[in-house]
Amino acid sequence: DVKVTQSSRYLVKRTGEKVFLECVQDMDHENMFWYRQDPGLGLRLIYFSYDVKMKEKGDIPEGYSVSREKKERFSLILESASTNQTSMYLCASSPPAPLTEAFFGQGTRLTVV
């Protein structure tokens, strides 16, 4: 069974804290993605990585950074969490070919207080 695993289902952090969201995939996929999901806005792409140490900004990268030191792991970092970053965060991975399926983790519900 293919798997994308996100380290936490629920997180509560304080404003100003540095927050790490971890994502691991076991499918040897080149591409990995971080999205945030808010009601009525669908999934918005934060960052995209197409190889180890390679990354591209998505549509809403402000306030976030990412790290991909190993192929299977893609981390999302909130340098200084703010209340407007309260959201559902979804990680996905896929092979590089354009017609391939993206596999998602179960999501991390982050609340910043």
How do strand 31-38 and strand 42-51 relate by DSSP bridges?
antiparallel
Q: Is there binding between residue 107 and other proteins (CB under 8 A)? A: yes
3-state secondary structure string across 31-93: EEEEEEEECCCEEEEEEEEEECCEEEECCCCCCEEEEEEECCEEEEEECCCCHHHCEEEEEEE
Q: Is there binding between residue 69 and other proteins (CB under 8 A)? A: no
Q: Is there binding between residue 23 and other proteins (CB under 8 A)? A: no
Q: Which of 33, 34, 64, 74 binds other proteins (CB under 8 A)?
A: 33
CB of 102 to other proteins, least distance (A): 6
**Ramachandran region of residue 71, left (φ > 0), alpha (ψ -120 to 50) or beta?**
alpha
- By CB under 8 A, what part of segment 45-64 binds other proteins? 45, 48, 50, 56, 58-59
Q: Is there binding between residue 28 and other proteins (CB under 8 A)? A: no
How do strand 19-25 and strand 73-78 relate by DSSP bridges?
antiparallel
Q: Which is nearer to other proteins, 66 or 90 (CB)?
A: 90
Q: Is there binding between residue 8 and other proteins (CB under 8 A)? A: no
Q: Is there binding between residue 76 and other proteins (CB under 8 A)? A: no
